[in-house]
Structure 1
Amino acid sequence: MNPQSLADAVHALMPRTRSELAELVAFESVADVPALAGECGAAAAWIAGAMTAQGFTDVRLLDTPDGTQAVWGELPAAQGAPVVLLYAHYDVQPAADRDAWATDPFRLTEAGGRWYGRGAADCKGSVLMHLTALRALAAVGGRLPDVHVKFIVEGSEEQGTGGLERYAEAHPELLAADVVVIADTANVALDVPTLTTSLRGMTTVEVHTRTLAANVHSGSFGGGAPDALAALIRLLDSLYDEDGHTRVAGLERTQTWGGSPYPVEKFRADAEVLPSVELPGTAALADLLWARPAATVVGIDCPAVAGATSAVQHRARALVSLRVPPGTEAARAQEALAAHLEAAAPRSAEVTVERLGVWEAFETGSDGPAHRAMLNSLRDVFGTEPARCGQGGSIPVCVTLAGLYPDAEFLLLGVQDPASRIHSTDESVDPGLLARMATAEALFLHRLAARPA
């Protein structure tokens, strides 16, 4: 079986892939909005139907402890065949500020050669990548190669409430595999396939400042009354040094990244940094993104400009996220973050710090036989050397599965690229990239069948 025959099969399947991705994107499957629970259930049912149509046996809707459903199915193979677990998720981020979208976020729309819609890249496109790869294998070989395939699609990855993790811990046999393919990461460029080898963990805290019993008139009391919003701004600024780098007392911030670098100009283009804006400091971007902690103020409760009154604020709050590199325990990082904020509290305000979620960092090896097979498959399909990079985001299920199956190889890849704008407006996937990633996965599964479990 050669790469070109699989590429031709995938190309012939792409109209079906687009049509089905449109159906899946149409579900507004935002898991942490109770009013959209029906949309999540419908998305799960759609995936279960697609698995059944593909020949998966014993397809199940798994009721997980956080109230969401995961979809599971398997394609058994002969005894002793290698077992591969394919992973994706169907829940998506909310499509906030819909007026800022150029298209309807829940209607797959083609523009400029890309497919736009919430979840098109993160991560419903990866669901279709897996299905297209399996269909291409069946089309070329008449049947699937001798690989035992398990397929799990979860419904709460974005909200991070651990539904699938807790279910897997209670039913460890269900997801046991020799190789785990996590399809939820990005490629460094459209023409450069990428295996992700590390993920930063994350912790969050909520910071509250209080100064007065109620708001007071800024004309009568401004200049003398302590301002809770001003105190919060000063407190948050303590998280960054004079160069703009994160500094949290008690956390190391000199680690370096040993993999592929991230050129400054490419980063500026990928992140869409405004031309007149300078990047913080002089540290290497790969170090900052993949090897060191990074604090982000992800939300502040304070009056909006529209409708604001002339008042000194009596209270304010902020949600702070801290990304944690491999080698740092997330719970320890959370305590360091909370202690830093409490110690930096200005005397002009009462400050409380509420500790919220904790998700551990993840790191995987890159020299096993499955890694080599995937690297060779990506190289053969793309015609270029694959990159091996870190990723700043976290995928909590990786840590759980690695703990349950310590001998398994983990391969992290996906259909995202720098222009995908996941978690933002106008999310999109490049269909050519989706097709090549599906081709590479199909070739990988064919090669995996040739090695013993």
Structure 2
Amino acid sequence: MAETTASSVAARDEAIAASQRRVDSGQLFAELRTRVARRTVSTDPDLVQEIEDYYSEDIGPAVEQMGFAWQRYDNPVSPGHPFVIADRTEEDAAFTVLLYGHADVQPPQTDQWREGLDPWTLTVDGDRWYGRGSADNKAQHTINLAALEEVIRLSDGHLGFSVRVLFESGEEAGSPGLSEFCASHRDELAADVFIASDGPRISAATPTVFLGSRGTTLLRLTVDERDRSHHSGNWGGVLSNAGTILAHALSSLVDAQGRILVEELRPTGIDDAVRRATDLLSVGTDPGDPSLTDDWGEPGLTPAERLFAWNTLEILDFLCGDPYQPVGAIPGTAHADLQLRYVVGSTTPGSVVSAVRAHLAAADLDRVAVESRGDMAATRLHPDDPWVRFAMESIEQTTGGVPALVPNLAGTIPNGAFADVLGLPTVWIPHSYPGCAQHAPNEHVLGPLVRESMQMMAGLFWDLRSHRP
């Protein structure tokens, strides 16, 4: 993987030490503080200029200082969510790495933050750095760029590999236009491997590598029997109840233990390499994690297999009548929103609606309408891929411990743009943890985790200098 001479080991150690000093001196905190202050909420059209300023005043100058040329691009689908590509090409490069980050954040929820905290002001309290975007995703891409900058500086400006960086600004809005943009800019984004950071580690204390994510399809089931409700005494027993019909539809899809009952929405099995990886994983081990529910989900699987190697169908809401002020009336309409999370090889986004419709029709429930409200494909690099071994070995060399290998994130990220559209092996190294409160009030990143992540990424970028895939 990496050079092993005494001088090369010393140089690697200095790169790691330099990245560590960047944290300890407060320099990285200051960089992140400036970026957190940008109100880059992608779902608020009034804040589009904040995204433009993030690119032109924060990211652009930072990558220029590292020897990158960068350019802003319009989004072909969503004008308020532009892209940036930064390129640092070396003539004798052995390969090219594509990095990624997203500039946007969730809405601030300002009035729900703990007293003394402000979402737009990076604030230290103990080991925690609080601020909107601190965990998702500004700290994560700030760490990667900062570690790379230290390696470039200690390499006298010669890495031996080229680097490209793609920034998007609509990830929190579902990444509109990302796949289309990647497809139309293949040449500018051409690379040999994709390395990025988002999402959480398996636990705060465990460095983690994941290789993709479960896919997702949002479904809405609707029962529309009549345009208004009717008195339940005068008409009960002779008028169909939309809520009753919908309840039976839901119970035909998933049972009382959370097991999926639609065969087409279930995986056919678990790949041996994926099973070996999940055998080493524990979930729900951090303080503050919820207690796992015994016997919930697919029987015969471990919690890690259920989370990372199987599909789940979750009922997100169920509405009929007025739940806040019930009245004695038979509801004429009802709807429920569901979310299918699925792994590679089990289903495809376009097949979910037709499978659910066919299942309901077979159960004499075809009066239930089914529509998709958005989907994203499942992706997973094979755990035995050489790039996976490289990343795992590099992190182990830096930390002295074997990192967790998660076949795919249990949640969903827009990895399909990189794995499917660009056709790249995708290696994700997250710098957050499950309790970071991303998308919620009091979002934060852990200071010790930031320090370790800087060391890991500096070691990895240093090892790439001598790597020959």
TM-score greater than 0.5 by the shorter chain = yes
Letter in 2 for 1:321: Q
Residue among 137, 147, 150 paired with 1:133: 147
Distance 1:169 1:8 in 2: 39
Q: Does 1:81 align with 2:94?
A: yes
Residue among 40, 47, 54 paired with 2:65: 54
| Greater alpha carbon shift after TM alignment, 375-384 vs 108-117 | 108-117
Q: Does the 8 Å CA contact 1:3/1:443 hold for their aligned counterparts?
A: yes
Q: Does 1:389 align with 2:400?
A: no
Q: Does the 8 Å CA contact 1:9/1:139 hold for their aligned counterparts?
A: no
**In the superposition, relative to structure 1, how do residues 445 and 426 fare at CA in structure 2: closer, same or farther (>3 Å)?**
same
Distance 1:269 1:451 in 2: 35
**Percent identical across equivalent pairs?**
26
Distance 1:89 1:211 in 2: 44
Distance 2:110 2:359 in 1: 33
| Greater alpha carbon shift after TM alignment, 431-440 vs 224-233 | 224-233
Distance 1:77 1:34 in 2: 38
Letter in 2 for 1:212: R
Residue among 429, 433, 436 paired with 2:452: 436
**In the superposition, relative to structure 1, how do residues 354 and 279 fare at CA in structure 2: closer, same or farther (>3 Å)?**
same
Measured against aligned partners, the alpha-carbon deviations of 1:363-404 in whole angstroms (never above 9, x if no partner) come to 2134455433322221122210112113112233x3333345
Distance 1:434 1:263 in 2: 24
Q: Does 1:201 align with 2:205?
A: no
Distance 2:390 2:223 in 1: 54
Structure 2 counterpart of 1:272: 289
Shift of 1:224: 6.1
RMSD across aligned C-alpha pairs, in angstroms?
3.2
Q: Does the 8 Å CA contact 2:353/2:370 hold for their aligned counterparts?
A: no
Q: Secondary structure at the match of 1:402?
A: helix
Letter in 2 for 1:386: P
Q: Does 1:374 align with 2:391?
A: yes
**In the superposition, relative to structure 1, how do residues 312 and 22 fare at CA in structure 2: closer, same or farther (>3 Å)?**
farther
Q: Does 1:355 align with 2:372?
A: yes
**In the superposition, relative to structure 1, how do residues 23 and 228 fare at CA in structure 2: closer, same or farther (>3 Å)?**
farther
Shift of 1:175: 0.8
Shift of 1:452: 4.2
Q: Does the 8 Å CA contact 2:349/2:376 hold for their aligned counterparts?
A: yes
Q: Does 1:336 align with 2:363?
A: no
Q: Does the 8 Å CA contact 1:105/1:426 hold for their aligned counterparts?
A: yes
Structure 2 counterpart of 1:239: 253
Measured against aligned partners, the alpha-carbon deviations of 1:299-351 in whole angstroms (never above 9, x if no partner) come to 4455775566665433232222111111132322343234335555758xx42
Measured against aligned partners, the alpha-carbon deviations of 1:256-296 in whole angstroms (never above 9, x if no partner) come to 34133378974265783258x54515431222112222112
Distance 2:378 2:332 in 1: 37
Q: Does the 8 Å CA contact 2:100/2:166 hold for their aligned counterparts?
A: yes
Q: Does the 8 Å CA contact 1:137/1:144 hold for their aligned counterparts?
A: no
Residue among 439, 442, 459 paired with 1:426: 442
Structure 2 counterpart of 1:180: 194
| Greater alpha carbon shift after TM alignment, 82-91 vs 255-264 | 255-264
Structure 1 counterpart of 2:303: 285
Shift of 1:174: 0.9
Structure 1 counterpart of 2:463: 447
Distance 1:162 1:370 in 2: 29
Distance 1:41 1:341 in 2: 47
**In the superposition, relative to structure 1, how do residues 235 and 50 fare at CA in structure 2: closer, same or farther (>3 Å)?**
farther
Letter in 2 for 1:401: F
Structure 1 counterpart of 2:128: 114
**In the superposition, relative to structure 1, how do residues 53 and 366 fare at CA in structure 2: closer, same or farther (>3 Å)?**
same
Q: Does the 8 Å CA contact 1:254/1:292 hold for their aligned counterparts?
A: no
Q: Does 1:159 align with 2:170?
A: no
Question: If the length of structure 2 is used for normalisation, what is the TM-score?
Answer: 0.84
Q: Does the 8 Å CA contact 2:321/2:334 hold for their aligned counterparts?
A: no
Contiguous gaps of at least 5 residues in structure 1? none
Letter in 2 for 1:284: T
Distance 1:210 1:284 in 2: 40
Shift of 1:445: 1.8
| Greater alpha carbon shift after TM alignment, 125-134 vs 416-425 | 416-425
Question: If the length of structure 1 is used for normalisation, what is the TM-score?
Answer: 0.86
Contiguous gaps of at least 5 residues in structure 2? 1-9
Shift of 1:245: 1.9
Distance 1:97 1:228 in 2: 39
Structure 1 counterpart of 2:314: 296
Q: Does the 8 Å CA contact 2:267/2:343 hold for their aligned counterparts?
A: no
**In the superposition, relative to structure 1, how do residues 334 and 376 fare at CA in structure 2: closer, same or farther (>3 Å)?**
same
Residue among 93, 106, 113 paired with 2:106: 93
Shift of 1:201: 1.2
